[in-house]
A and B are shown apart, each in its own frame.
Chain A
Amino acid sequence: MPDFVQLFIALVVAAITYGTPLLFGTLGEILTEKSGNLNLGVEGIMFMGGALGLGGVFYYEKAVSVPNGILAVLIGMVCAFIAGAIASLIFSFITITLRANQNVTGLALAIFGTGIGQFAGEYMRIQEGGYISISNELKVFFINSPFPQALQDLPYVGNILFGNSIFFYLGILLAVAMFLYFGRSRSGLHLRAVGESPATADAAGISVTRYKYLATVIGGGISAIGGMVYITTIAGCVWNHEGLSGVGWLAVALVIFCLWRPLNAIWGSVLFGALMILYLRLALPFIPTQLYKILPYVVTVIVLIFSSMRNNKEKQPPASLGLSYFREDR
């Protein structure tokens, strides 16, 4: 294999690794925003998912003498999901039932969630008297590919297609499932109606409150899994809030970049993952590395501007995004 091909393959694999947490964060936020709720607390949700997901796996390993790897992955995902779901439930209660402003509540959740995440990480560290980390035997299940070595060794495509962590494949499945749900199911149609025009949906007999609650809570849970994925696959299974900070905001950006479409999120997150690490792999002499890192945000702004300029009906945010719904308002 020529050198540059090898370099390229290494770049793509690394991009996928860094993109996978974003994929979960983004998919969760897409589900939330489709219901018309703009949850800006993704940063906090991912912190909570990261800390509590790691904590769940850590205490599972501590409690059992022979831990089961697959079960550990599941426990991590479930713990993260529950943490994110509870955080989003607070958000939902305040914005849907109590009709508070979504922007402000989302920011409050970001502050609260990062606090909880750091607090939990720090507290576990004090309690256990050292770093919270998972044993190497268990880490393998989080980091390595679920496919047999023979497939991974296929020339050129093997590593890219089959060499990623299990979370990437779960993320793709989730994206496809969400695509089918939004586009092909009646319930998905209802959800989109709630996000576009809650008054119309309400008049058609759809329970606006129930759809908003479910979409936001499940979406928050999915986003939180992204935080857990970051901690276990990139941060080496150690609580590291430095690395995680900013990932949640990037996920919010990615939702716009994907134009609220789950399938776009797959390649979008890999692209953003590449932009996050490009400065390590491909140093261009005339572009400083620090300016590389702002590329994802610049690209998002450009997408935002162009989608508003072209005013294409297919490529807009859900029409009621960010607005509370009260039946008696006109």
Chain B
Amino acid sequence: MNPETKTPLVRLAKREAMEPWKAWCIRIGSILLALVLGGLLIAALGKNPLAAYGTILDGSLGRASALRQTAKIAIPLLGTALAIAPCFKMRFWNIGAEGQITAGAIAASYFALFWVDKVPSALLLVIMGLSGALAGGLWALIPAFFKARWNTNETLFTLMMNYIIIGVVRWLQGGPWEGRPGSQIIPQFDSAACLPKVFGVHCGWIIVLILVVFIYIYMRYTKHGYEIAVIGDSVNTARYAGMNVGRVIMRTMFLSGAISGLVGFIVASGADNTLHDGVAAGVGFTAITVAWLAQLNPFAMIAISGMLAILSKGADTLHTRMDVPASISDIITGMLLFCMLGCEFFINYRLIFRGGKSSPEAPDGKEAVKHA
């Protein structure tokens, strides 16, 4: 018989675990909520929200050419989200994917520009891919080394590394690799250095889908994946179990950077056919939210990156057809992220209202207290 006077109106308790179907219901509900909020915004502009969403869907999926454009947006998002997943599983906040993509693109572009007449096309593409992966990995290894050795804050370090490498691209654009003098543009790659197309979209999508399976197996069924999970849960436990935490951090970051670098190669060679300072174009940041919202599950990432790509491509159509500024896609994406981030709370925690003893989950709660 606790005295009721001191009990606050709402208390929080951690849930043990929620059935997956319930959790996914909450997540889908949050997506719907975000779409309703976005609809209200569109209505506030004096447009019909349903027509607007229809335009978004039609503009992104309606025709084969639109579908290809949407896929082109989704490929780097998905690839980079996969790259980020192992780091985030390890609670290593790598927000430098933007820079790692760019580093990979630089290395790939070097071979595309200067080796094109030295080796056959297939070999050239392989070299470009490998060098991109290596460059991205090495670029990611720098903050990882300092994290492992001196525990330097990786969030801020990786963030700064983005702007450094993007500055290097700007320098290459205006200096050593500039095409026509004064143009500030690096020349288009020779067709031998461009990824071939499969079903009308550059074959990067095949690489990325293979990576989905690879990351799934790597995280779930390998010793490396297990070490990453243990470090993410508790660094001290990992040390006690005899894991070399510093080495795992550096290894995982290298892998993450390498995949991002590969994405950089895919974007430069497949989509842009050149190198420019916007090669990553914010993908490194958006992919973080993709990975996180997918609960680091590679297959869920396909759905979420697809959804964001539909929004992004659809908003362009919305801009041309209904005269709504294209930046509305960023706003709706932001709302979507907010709602989905917020909804995890209702999956992980339980609200207990004062006097509300007849909650169906109360027995679970008592059990949990006993265990604790």
Contacts and interface: CB of A to CB of B under 8 A. Distances in A.
Interface of A: 38, 40, 44, 90, 93-94, 97-101, 103-105, 107-116, 118-119, 122-123, 126, 246, 249, 252-253, 256, 288-291, 293-294, 297-298, 300-301, 304-305, 308-309, 311, 317, 321-322, 326, 328
Interface string B333-372: 1110110011011001100000000000000000000000
A256 B1 CA distance: 51
Nearest to A309: B150
B48 interface: no
Nearest to B184: A290
A151 to B, nearest CB: 38
Interface string B123-148: 00000000000000000000000100
A311 B146 CA distance: 13
B14 interface: yes
A280 to B, nearest CB: 15
Interface of B: 12-14, 45, 93, 95, 146, 150-153, 155-157, 159-161, 163-164, 167-168, 170-171, 173-175, 282, 285-286, 288-289, 292, 323, 325, 327-331, 333-335, 337-338, 341-342, 344-345, 348-349
A293 B325 CA distance: 31
A110 B159 CA distance: 13
A281 to B, nearest CB: 18
B12 A326 contact: yes
A202 to B, nearest CB: 14
Q: Which residue of B153, B160, B286, B331 has the most chain A CB atoms within 10 A of its CB atom?
A: B160
A153 B79 CA distance: 59
B258 to A, nearest CB: 21
B271 to A, nearest CB: 21
B13 A103 contact: no
Contact of B288 (A104, A113, A115, A321): A104
A94 B341 contact: yes
Contact of A109 (B157, B328, B334): B334
Contacts of B156: 252-253, 256, 300, 304
Contacts of B157: 301, 304-305
A104 B292 contact: yes
SS class of chain B's interface: helix, strand, loop or mixed?
helix
SS class of chain A's interface: helix, strand, loop or mixed?
helix
Given A98-B345, A104-B292, A115-B327, A304 B337 contact: no
A44 B173 CA distance: 27
B314 to A, nearest CB: 14
A287 B12 CA distance: 58
B156 to A, nearest CB: 5
Identify the 7 closest CB pairs spanning chains A and B, nearest first: A112-B334, A115-B330, A294-B167, A108-B337, A290-B171, A98-B345, A118-B327
A301 B165 CA distance: 13
A113 B167 CA distance: 24
B167 A104 contact: no
Contacts of A105: 337-338, 341
B206 to A, nearest CB: 28
Contact of B323 (A93, A101, A115, A126): A126
A316 to B, nearest CB: 9
A293 B170 contact: yes
Contact of A290 (B153, B170, B328): B170
Nearest to B173: A290
Contact of A304 (B153, B164, B285, B338): B153
A115 B153 CA distance: 29
A308 B285 contact: no
Given A99-B345, A253-B160, A326-B12, 6 more contacts: A107-B289, A115-B327, A253-B156, A293-B167, A294-B163, A297-B161
